[in-house]
Each structure stands twice: as C-alpha cells, then as structure tokens.
Chain A
Amino acid sequence: MIAEEAARAAQAAGRPHTAAARPIRARLRLTLLVFGVLAVATCALAPLIGSTSISFRRALDTSIPFADNVDAQILLIARLPRVLAGALVGAALASAGVVFQALLRNPLATPFTLGVSAGASLGAMLVIILGGSIAVGPWSPVPLASLAGAGLAAAIVYSLANGPRRVMSTTVLLLAGVTLNAFFSALILFVQYLADFSEVARATRWLMGDLDIAGFSPLVGALPLIVVAAGIFATLPSSLNLMGVDPDSASSRGVDVVATQRWAFFSASLATSAAVALAGPIGFIGIVVPHLVRLLVGVDHRIVLPASALFGATFLVGCDLIARTLMAPIEIPVGVVTAIIGGPFFLWLLVREG
C-alpha cells in the first residue's frame, strides 16, 4: 500500500511546495535580507520623489539657512515624516493582519475584522464632528479619540470572547467582532447624519486614510505603542504555527494556548489601534501583504510575520508615493490607492485558488 501511494505521489495532484525545501535558518535569513533591503531602499528613495520637484543636493546644502531652504524643508518636514509614518503604519497593519489571521484561524481575517478600526473611526468622527480639544503629549485630539475608540472596541470584544471557558473560541471572537463592526458603523452613520455637511465631508476624508502627518510629533506618539506590539509579536510565531495546525493538540506540544491567544489579541489590537489612530483606517494592507508574502515564502509564521512587517512598510510607502504623485498636484487619499491595488489583486487570488 505504501508503494502504491508513492506511485500516486509521483503524479500528485497536490500542490508542490518549493518554498519549504531549505532549512529554516537559511530561509529566514534570506527572507529578512531581501525584504529588509527592499524596505530600506523604498524608504530611502521615497522622500526624494514627490509632487514638487526638489534638488537633493540643495536640500543637503548646509550653507543655506534652513528657513530659506525650501528643498530641505520639504524633504525633512513634509516628506520624511510621511515616509516614516507610512513604513510604521504599513508594518503595523501587515503584521497585525498575520497575527489576527492566525488567531482566528482564517486567512481572510484582517486587522479590521474584530471591530478595532470601527471603534477608532467612531472616536475620530466624534471629535471631528462635535469638536474636542483634549490632547495628551504628542497625541492631538482626533488621533487621541481614535485611539480611545479602538481601545474600547478591543476591550468589548475581549470581554465577550473571554467567557466561562478559558480558551477563546474563534467563533465567538468573530461574531463579537462582526457585531461590533456593525454596531459602531451604524453609530458612525448616525453621528454623520446629525452633523453639518462640512463636518461630514471632513469625517469622510479621515476615513480614507492620510499619512501627511506634518512633523514628527504624531510618530513619536504612535511609535512606543507599535514597538511594544512588535516586541510581543516576536514571541508568538512558533506558538501560532502549532495552533494553526491544531489548537487542541498545541498544548500537548508545549504551547500555552490561552496565554498565546490573549497576547496575540492584545498585541495585534494595539498595533492596529496605533496605526489607525495615526493615519486613519487604511485598508487592504492587512490582507494583501500577508497573502502575497505567503505566496513567496510559505506559511511558517516565523518567516511570514517579520517578512510581512517589512513588506507592509514597503507596500504602504509605495502606495503613498503613488497617491501623492499620480495626479499631482491633487493627492489621492492613500486608502483609495491601497484599495484600487488590493481589490483586483484579491480577486486574482480568488480566481487562482478556484
């Protein structure tokens, strides 16, 4: 019987896997190298390109006083923070996507599936429409309210999913998240309905995503949160692998399933909240990037997670570059660009699967 199967395997209908051939250490190193170089190159080149043509040499010319050096101002105040924000948000959303997909055992999950982004949007809407002046440190009112909203949504989902059973049921998580999404979206529509037209226009603009942070201050606010999330991310991959195969027997292989689920939920929610608070809900990164990365490197989370973070940075910085140059001087909202690129890609993926 084994011989028979060996023969069948030779003409296997199953998908051949080229990615898993080499040992993991080598693959990890190679992947990090390639994606790392790509990310660094993109972040280095992006500030040099934009709707206004600037001279790099002039920008770096220290003999010209900064106040008179428009090229330098544009490079360092307008573009550089923007590119860094794009990298940070892209990395955060892509890696949160990977973690949520593992947590929910579903490759179609996104960082926004569990309602975190709807909470963030509601918070932002309320301040944009009702006004607000509470600011904390580098967090201005709208991002701060957005962060609060996201935190609230995550807390609600967490308490709903952490019922009498200790292990979080993925079904309950999904249902709680979808319900919260619907509920918060309804609230958002209601608030918009009550609002002035101009307020609605501005609120809608926020929902399309915006990386033009005008200075490093918002980055300073978001960075610690994302760094904390990243630190937790680093401890998750092998546990996520085991849980991805079989959550029940994962604990018989040494994984603390309950703790892993909690840390995964917390860290992915934190990264998503910070990213959305900083730049608005930019969609498709959390699903397109992990899928693309899995196509290239396989499904081992120890490689997929860091590679997705790096590629997420590259992807978003690239999309933002397109957003601010394609129809210059008009800027396309970056969320629109990620959707236009991400949507068809996703359809292609589905067609390919079928």
Chain B
Amino acid sequence: MAARARRLTTVLVLAVAAAIGVTGCEATPPATTQAAQRIVSLVPTVTEMLFAVGAGPQVVGVSSYDYFPPEVERLPKVGALIDPDNERILGLRPDLVIVYGSQSEAEARFKAAGIRTFSYRHDTAAAIAGTLDTIVAIGTLTGHEARAREVTTAMTRDLEAVRARVAGRARPRTLLVMARQPGTLRGLYVSGGVGFLHEMLEVAGGQNVFDDAKRESVQPSSETLLARAPEAILELHGYGDPAASGTDIGVWTALASIPAVRQSRVQVLSGDHVVVAGPRLGQGAEAMARALHPDAYQ
C-alpha cells in the first residue's frame, strides 16, 4: 500500500466521485431508530465527522486512506473506494457502513446482509450546507444528534465570523489551485465555480477567477490563465502532500505577467482543513481569509 506519508488532497478524490454524478446528500433511512454501535467508514471525511460528533468509540473500522484523527491509527483498515475488503468489513460485524455514493454494488451487498448503510454523496451545489446536513445526519444515526448540532452551529458561527471580518473589503480575483505537477506549471487542476472550495473562497472574501465554470475542477491552459489574470493565487495542499513544502512555487515565474505573480501574492495553504469538506471547514475558510486579507487579521 502506498506510504501513509504520501497523500494528496482528498478533495480530488471527492471531485472525481462528484464527476460520476452527484445530487444532494441522501442518507438511507435507517431501518431502526437505534443508534449504530459498530460503524465501519470507507469515507475519510465522514470518519472525521464521526469523531467530531463523539461517535469515535463506536467506530470499529476505517478506510485505507484514513489518518485523522490520530485515533484511527489503531483501527483496522478495510480498503476504500475501488477496493473495499468485504470480508474484513463483514468480519468486524458492523451495524452501519458508510459508503461512497457511487459504491452502489457494495451498498447492495451490505443491505442484503442486513447491515445499515449510509451513502455519502459529495455535493457540488450548496456544498457547505450539504456538509452541515451530513454531520447532523451522522449524529442522528449514531445517537449523537445533539453534539452534531453543536458542531454545526459552531461551524456556522466560525464561517459567519470569517465573512464578517472580510466584509466590505475588495474581493481579489483568486485562483484556487488544487494540484499540479511538481516543479512545473503543467497538469494544473483549479477550482471551478461550484463546490465547497469555491464556497469557502466566497466566505473568505475572494472571488473565484473561474466562477463562471459550472464544474468543480477545471484544467486551465496557460493561455486561459494569462487571459483571466488572477490577482491572488492560493495553492492548497492536504496533509502529507509531497509538494506541501511549497518550495517550488517559484515555477509561477514562468507566467510572470499574471498580476498575482507580479505582486507576489502566490501562497501555499497546507493542511486538511483547507481541502476536506468536513468539520474543520471553518478553519479552512479562515486560513483562506488570512491569506487574502492579512490586514483584516492584524
């Protein structure tokens, strides 16, 4: 298995899952109202949510890509999107399995075995709202509804706080970079006008330079970048991303005439709070706001 230390933004995992066709977030209505006691989660974002609402002790298995919170280190790893290890999962005798929206086959199998499933769907429209809803749904399923609502209230408060801080200020046209090839500007993936990254940027007082693109990720050519001329560039790296050191942002000098490059407004934001649509969204938005409006945080 690929080394833990080499993880990229899970946002792209979700972005690709989104491409397969996403609508709203649907929870399979639980057959009973009893809280789930043995939970296996194949979705790292939801794992984080489980621990955030206090359902950590009820989690018995996580995906191979899980690393947060640190408690998951001790838990059995059961595969992920394309390779869920059904034997292992069933061996853990779960009463709730969190699956990706596209894993319909796996979901059907668990249902046939009498196991409740929660199908995580990655939202592109109203993504932040969807995330909040998911947290509440997770809380309800696991008997921690109250705590879940506390979490979502706090998140909403944090987001509002960020919004208030940067209110009234000029919104720089911003390029949100999700990935590129190391050492070069080729293979760029940037955020389009939908999705949680885009929404976080809005909250943080930035204007997405590709907000007219009705997709979550865009692969712009150099020509398009030059034409759009962003005033600020934020490179987002998740935990363990080899490029997270940010030592190679010097590559942007290849397009030195972009305003953001000319004015040295190219910054790297590292950490899962900026790339995961989970409980730390608020911190992510704040990180973006601090980068775009440093004067608001003196």
Contacts and interface: CB of A to CB of B under 8 A. Distances in A.
| Most chain B CB atoms below 10 A, which of A140, A217, A324 | A140
Contacts of B15: 198
B174 to A, nearest CB: 18
Interface residues of A, number: 45
| Most chain B CB atoms below 10 A, which of A66, A196, A217, A331 | A196
A206 B182 contact: no
Contacts of A141: 181-184
A198 B179 contact: yes
B221 interface: yes
Contacts of B224: 51-52, 329
B223 A79 contact: yes
B224 to A, nearest CB: 6
A132 interface: yes
Given A131-B6, A141-B181, A197 B1 contact: no
Given A78-B226, A331-B221, A202 B179 contact: yes
A74 B226 contact: yes
A331 B181 CA distance: 18
A142 B181 contact: yes
B92 interface: no
Interface string A313-329: 00000000000100001
Interface string A213-255: 1110110000000000000000000000000000000000000
A131 B1 CA distance: 15
B81 A197 contact: yes
Interface in B177-227: 179, 181-187, 189, 219, 221-227
B112 interface: no
A77 B186 contact: no
A258 interface: no
A131 B182 contact: yes
A129 B2 CA distance: 9
A136 B262 CA distance: 26
Contact of B255 (A135, A143, A214): A214
A143 B186 CA distance: 11
Contacts of A36: none
B106 interface: no
Contacts of B262: 67
B16 interface: yes
A9 interface: no
B12 A197 contact: yes
Report whether over half of chain A's contact residues are helix, strand or loop; otherwise say mixed.
Answer: helix
Given A131-B242, A133-B183, A214-B186, A197 B6 contact: no
A62 to B, nearest CB: 15
Nearest to A144: B183
Contacts of B229: 70
| Most chain A CB atoms below 10 A, which of B9, B11, B222 | B222
A50 B225 CA distance: 13
A111 to B, nearest CB: 22
Given A133-B242, A198-B15, A214 B8 contact: no
Contacts of A73: 226, 255, 257
Interface string A47-71: 0001110000000000000110010
A230 B55 CA distance: 66
A212 B222 CA distance: 7
B31 interface: no
Interface string B1-43: 1100011111111011100000000000000000000000000
Given A73-B257, A197-B81, A214-B254, A135 B183 contact: yes
A73 B223 CA distance: 8
A311 to B, nearest CB: 25
A34 B13 CA distance: 50
A143 B184 CA distance: 10
A178 B16 CA distance: 33
A294 to B, nearest CB: 34
A67 B262 CA distance: 8
Contacts of B12: 196-198, 201-202
Contacts of B255: 73, 77, 214-215
B59 interface: no
Closest 3 CB pairs of A and B: A198-B12, A131-B242, A140-B183
19 contacts: A73-B257, A74-B223, A74-B226, A130-B242, A131-B242, A133-B243, A142-B184, A193-B82, A193-B83, A196-B2, A197-B13, A198-B10, A198-B13, A198-B15, A202-B179, A202-B189, A214-B185, A214-B254, A331-B221
Interface of A: 50-52, 66-67, 70, 73-74, 77-79, 82, 127-133, 135, 140-143, 193-199, 201-202, 205-206, 210, 212-215, 217-218, 324, 329, 331
